Amino acid sequence: MDHTAFIFPGQGAQFVGMGKELADAFASARAVFEEVDAALGENFSSLIWEGSDDDLKLTANTQPALMAVSLAVTRALEAEFGVKVGDATYVAGHSLGEYSALAAAGAISVGDAAKLLRFRGESMQKAVPAGEGAMAALLGATIEQAEAACAASGGVCEIANDNAPGQVVLSGAKAAVEAAAEWSKENGIKKAVLLPVSAPFHCSLMQPAADAMAEALATTELKSPIVPVYANVTAAPVTDPAEIRNLLVEQVTARVRWRESVEKMAAEGVVNLVECGAGKVLTVMNRRTVKGLNGTALGTPSDLEAFAEAQNQA
């Protein structure tokens, strides 16, 4: 498991029914969903598996749901196949996925992660009145071009996600983001697409949510993770609980530096990125960031079996 990082997806990877096969196949995976149900005080699993797409898309549901599926993967890997997160070099997660990474590395309990993510989703939703914020993906843009688009927007418009070469997401006030998207089209950027999101994540308009998370995190127990966690805010590994707490607060308004995180992990010798949870959004993005990185997405029992078998043969 040397040279391996476990990575955890963020919002946008969700789909109704995710994780159901894992829960049916493995008691260890089922136990994670039961833990999340108990923490949230509701039959949350049924919303994930049988609910409506609209309900799952509500950010206060999406965030704990994706974490639950990711942790079902890592717990089943360990319990059924003896593959341990602690044997990896790093863990990292995209936005809310950072909470999944911390829970997988033992820095936070699954129940606390579920409660924090539910609260994080609610706080982000409340931070900006509906319809006042927006996000846009700039395809084919460099960071410098994205920064120029923000500067030309005439309002609050910031880089929210640096996902991969040629994939940068802007966030901010609706009029400013729309102006930046228009500027992009006129200044040689291949495509600017407004995203169907419920709030402008990872920009300074989220400050009320960051303040709320600071209070919630202050009373949550955080331990040192068993492997270093690559933080979104710094694109650097962190193990100190006090620093992790501060970075999680900062993360609400700060840029998700995913491209840099992947580049730096690769520079430090990571060759295998193993995506745990719903879909394979990160695996597809990472291929564009560092050529030659091995990407594996684990979301079903057969994925886990194949991965464990490959580990045993290695």
Tens digit of pLDDT for each residue in 250-297? Answer: 999 999 999 999 999 999 999 999 999 999 999 999 999 999 999 999
Q: What is the pLDDT of residue 1?
A: 78
Determine the Cα–Cα distance for residues 92 and 136; give it in Å rounded to an integer.
24
**What one-character-per-residue DSSP string does 231-249 give?**
ETTTTEEE--HHHHHHHHH
Q: What is the pLDDT of residues 31-57, one digit of tens each?
A: 999 999 999 999 999 999 999 999 999
SS3 77: helix
CATH 3.40.50.720: does it fit domain 4-126+205-313? no
Structure-token pair, residue 3: 């040279």
Q: Does domain 133-197 have CATH number 3.30.70.250?
A: yes
Beta bridge partner(s), residue 275: 7, 297
Q: pLDDT (tens digit, 9 = 90+) per residue, 150-206?
A: 999 999 999 999 999 999 999 999 999 999 999 999 999 999 999 988 899 999 999
The C-alpha atoms of residue 110 and residue 64 are separated, in whole angstroms, by: 10
- DSSP class of residue 196 equals -
Supply the Cα-derived Rg of the chain in whole angstroms.
19
Q: How many residues would you count in the chain?
A: 314
Cβ contacts of residue 134 below 8 Å, gap of 6+? 171, 172, 173, 174, 177, 178, 194, 195, 197, 200
pLDDT digits (tens, 9 = 90+) for 142-157: 999 999 999 999 999 9
Residue type, 212: A
- 251 and 232 in contact (C-beta within 8 Å)? yes
Instruction: Please report the pLDDT score of residue 97 as a whole number.
Output: 98
Position 185 scores a pLDDT of: 93
3-state helix, strand, coil split of the chain in percent (to 5) is: 50, 15, 30
* Average confidence (pLDDT) over 13-33: 98
- In the prediction, which pLDDT does 296 show? 97
Return the pLDDT at 172. Answer: 98
pLDDT band at 314 (very low <50, low <70, confident <90, very high): confident
286, burial (CB in 10 Å: exposed 0-12, middle 13-18, buried 19+) = buried
Q: Which of 28, 70, 95, 100 is catalytic?
A: 95
Is 3 labeled as catalytic in the residue annotation? no
Is residue 198 annotated as part of the catalytic site, yes or no? no
Beta bridge partners of 246: none
Cα 8 from chain centroid (whole Å): 6
Asked if 75 contacts 83 with a C-beta cutoff of 8 angstroms, the reply is: no
Q: What is the mean pLDDT of the chain?
A: 97
Side-chain-side CA neighbours of 52 within 13 Å: the count stands at: 3
Strands of 165-312 (E only): list them.
167-173, 191-194, 229-231, 236-238, 272-276, 294-298
Helix (H, G, I), strand (E, B) or coil at 133: strand
- State residue 198's pLDDT score: 84
Query: What pLDDT, on the 0 to 100 scale, is given for residue 212?
Result: 98
- Could you state, in order of their start, the residue ranges of all structural domains in the chain? 4-126+205-313, 133-197
Distances (CA, A) of 271 to 38, 87, 198, 311: 37, 14, 35, 14
Q: Report the percentage of the chain scoring pLDDT > 90.
A: 96
State pTM to two decimals: 0.97
